[in-house]
Structure formats: C-alpha cells, structure tokens
Amino acid sequence: MDSREEVVATSVVATKVSPSAKKALLILNCILLSVGNCGGPLIMRLYFIHGGNRVWLSAFLETAGWPFIVVVLFILYIYRRCSKGISTASTTVVYMKPRVFFAAVVIGVLTGLDDYLYACGVIRLPISTTLLIIASQLAFTAFFAFLLVKQKFTPYTVNAVVLLTAGAAVLALHTSSDRPNGESKAEYFKGFFLTVAAAALYGFVLPLVELTYNKANQAITYTLVLEIQMVVCLFATIFCSIGMIINNDFKAILSESKNFGLGETSYYIVLCTSAIFWQCFFLGAIGVVFCASSLLSGIIIAVFLPVTEALGVIFYKEPFQVEKGVALVLSLWGFTSYFYGEYKGMKKKKSEEKSSLDRSKELAQVNYSSEPFQVEKGVALVLSLWGFTSYFYGEYKGMKKKKSEEQSSLDRSKDLAQLNYSSV
C-alpha cells in the first residue's frame, strides 16, 4: 500500500459515520448547545453583577476553552493510528485544507467581534432584555440561511420562526422598566443596539459555517468539524486577546479578583466555568450545523432563551412576569412545530423510498414470473432447436458436397493438363 492509499484508508476510518451514530451525535451536540446557551449568559451576568467590569475579558472567555478541542483531536488521532490496517507512519494528522483554514480564520475573527458586542450588551442590560434581543437572532439566521445556503422552508419551519419571534415580542412588553438603576439612557440604548448587532452577526456566522462545509471541496467529517471549531475559537481568542492587551485587562485581573463580591477564589472559578459553558455553546452550535442545519442551531438557541430567563428568576431573583410565561410556551410550541415538521418529512421520505423499492421488486417479479413455462412451450422450444439444427446441418452437408465436387473438377483439370503435356 503506497502513501496515497494509506491516507485514503485513514480518511475512511474518520469519515464512516452510520445514520444511528449521526443521530446520537446530533443529540449530543443539542445537549452541549442547550447547556452552553443557558449557562454561558448566566455565568457572564454573575461576573458583572458581583463587581466584574472587564468586557474584553468576558469576550475572551467565550472562546478561551479551545484547548479542550485539541485534547479531543489528539484522542481521535491516537484512535486512527491504532485502527486495524492503518499504517502509523502515514496517519493523517490534520484534515483541514488551506481553503477551509482561511475560511475558519475569517469566521473566527467575526466570532471574536460578536463575543465583544455580546459582552457589551450583557454588562449594560438585564439578562431578560439581553435574551429578548438575542431571540431576534433566529430571524437573522433564517434570512442569511436562505441567502447563503438556499435553506428550504416548510410550513412547520415558518410556523416555528413565527412562534419564536412572537415569544420575543411578548417579552418586549416588560422592557420599559428594565433599565438598571444609575444607568443613563445613552448607555442603555448603546447596550441595546450592540446586542442587536451581536444577534445579527452571529445569525450570519451560522449559515457562513454551513456554506464553508458546502464549498470545502473535501469530505466533511466530525474530525474536520472539530478542527474548524478549534481554528475559529483560536482566532476569536487572539482577536479578544489583542483587545485585552490594549485595554490592560490582563494586568487588571489580579486586582479585580481581590475586589470580587464572591471572593477571590470564586472569581477564578467563575472565569473557568464561563469558559467551559461557552465552549459547550460554540462546540454544540457548530456540531448541530454539521449534523443538521444552521437553521436548527438557531432554533435551539432561540427556544432556550426563555429557559435561561426562568433560571435567571431562580438564581438572581428576577421577577417572572406573565409575559415571560407566555413567551416560554410560545417558544416550546415553536420548537415542537419544527421537530414535528422534520419528523413528518423523514416519514414521508422513508415512505416514498419504500414505495419505490416495492415497485421495483414487483416489476422484477412480474418480468420473472408473469409468463409461466408450460410443457407445450418446452416441446415447442425443442422442436424449434431441432429445426434450427436440421437447417444448419443441411447447409453444412450442401457446402461439403459442393467443395467435394469443386475438388474433383480441379483434379480432372490437372490430369487433363498433365496428359496433354506428356503427349507433346
């Protein structure tokens, strides 16, 4: 086996994913996205509530957990090396091609900018208002998915988008009294519009990731997805690190930890926990795009926003108005509508495939057994073969007789010529 064949064999090990395994992977990524989507904003808000005020640091923490992906990729690499029939000398270390790498770098920079915009909103707005605005991300995701990847909309999908948007609109009914004490209107509206920008930007990023998969010109495996996510988070972290350096955030961490409301140890625990939750969010989001679509990723993000609000009520003692309950019901309804539509679509597709297969089998059966082979047909076949053989045997005998007569005529001509020559 030459080097090219070994690399192909290695790729087969990494790319072979059964439908059941892909469903399990989708469920796992949905769980990661849900956990990160609920935990990330709550921990970030906890940091700001108890004295934290470093926006670039908060943005940095959203993607700072990227080394965890390196550990997972290393484990997958060891697995490929240990797989049967794969030469350890030629096991592919990195699947990402330059085209995909540069796309991931661009997405990473955009993600870093989105992290900063989001952190600017969280520090100025209550968690309920922030989540209300982020709910509009679903509309941006649907719009950009239609433009970039030609996402097809079913009535169930449209219904889900409408219901989730309606849930966000219901939440808007109680935002008039949400401005924190001591905060100016200018700061409040600055946070409002920066959060809208964050929602729009990430609504663009998710379809952009899906477009990258479609235009990659290589097999999209989950290993490659992890590599893309690692590059995205790495460059987003680098982007935020530059902001931290300019803003002197690294130098301020030590003094801020000593003045943190929950204590110095809790300060570092909050930072680490924030990084873990946000890594779950981004890893789950990009995984759902790989297993399903960017639209589903946006819907999961939207549906858990009211859940996060409910958790904010529990942990931060925020008031839970009737509007929040209505929004929660509408969001769950939209989520159910989307998955019911997907279920109906899959069921219809399987039914059509089964009908097509049954028709093919029936046609083959008809061609094989629609005309039974009776005894009369057997006798007719034997007689036909007999007549066919008799005809060719007669032709053969005639040709043989003709050749014999020609040979005799030729011999007589030679004898006559010999006789004439001798007499002379």
In this structure, are 190 and 269 located in the same domain? yes
**Chain-centre distance for alpha carbon 398:** 77
In this structure, are 331 and 393 located in the same domain? no
> Is 9 inside any structural domain?
no
In this structure, are 138 and 259 located in the same domain? yes
The enclosing H or E element of 12 equals helix 3-15
CA distance 133 to 41: 13
In this structure, are 304 and 386 located in the same domain? no
Count the domains in the chain: 2
pLDDT at 19 (0 to 100): 75
Please check whether residue 142 is in contact with residue 338, taking contact to mean a CB–CB distance below 8 angstroms.
no
pLDDT tens track of the chain, all 424 residues?
443 333 333 333 344 456 777 788 889 999 999 999 889 989 998 998 888 889 999 999 999 999 989 988 898 888 888 875 555 555 678 889 999 999 999 999 999 999 999 999 888 887 777 877 787 777 788 888 888 888 777 788 788 778 877 876 776 666 556 667 777 778 888 888 898 899 899 889 989 988 998 888 888 888 888 999 999 999 999 999 999 999 999 999 999 999 999 999 999 999 999 999 999 998 888 888 888 877 788 778 877 877 887 787 788 776 666 776 777 788 778 777 777 877 787 788 778 878 888 787 777 665 555 555 566 666 666 677 677 677 777 777 778 788 777 777 777 777 676 766 566 5
> Is 52 inside any structural domain?
yes
Last residue of a domain, one of 319, 342, 365: 342
In this structure, are 338 and 414 located in the same domain? no
* Structural domain range at position 47: 21-342
Q: Which of 302, 310, 306 is nearest to 285 (CA)?
A: 302
In this structure, are 116 and 245 located in the same domain? yes
Last residue of a domain, one of 321, 342, 363: 342
> Is 203 inside any structural domain?
yes
Please check whether residue 296 is in contact with residue 27, taking contact to mean a CB–CB distance below 8 angstroms.
no
Give per-residue pLDDT as tens, 245-254.
999 999 999 9
Give per-residue pLDDT as tens, 55-65.
999 999 999 99
pLDDT at 56 (0 to 100): 95
> Is 362 inside any structural domain?
no
Under DSSP, the state recorded for 180 is: P
pLDDT at 12 (0 to 100): 37
Tell me the whole-structure pTM to 2 decimals.
0.70
In this structure, are 313 and 412 located in the same domain? no
> Is 364 inside any structural domain?
no
In this structure, are 48 and 159 located in the same domain? yes
> Is 367 inside any structural domain?
no
Q: How many CB atoms lie within 10 A of CB 245?
A: 12
> Is 317 inside any structural domain?
yes
In this structure, are 387 and 323 located in the same domain? no
Q: How many CB atoms lie within 10 A of CB 7?
A: 16
> Is 357 inside any structural domain?
no
In this structure, are 272 and 387 located in the same domain? no
In this structure, are 387 and 242 located in the same domain? no
Helix 305-316 with 294-303: angle, nearest 10 deg: 30
Last residue of a domain, one of 292, 321, 342: 342
pLDDT at 372 (0 to 100): 57
CA angle 171, 176, 181 (to 5 degrees): 120
CA angle 51, 52, 53 (to 5 degrees): 115
In this structure, are 312 and 396 located in the same domain? no
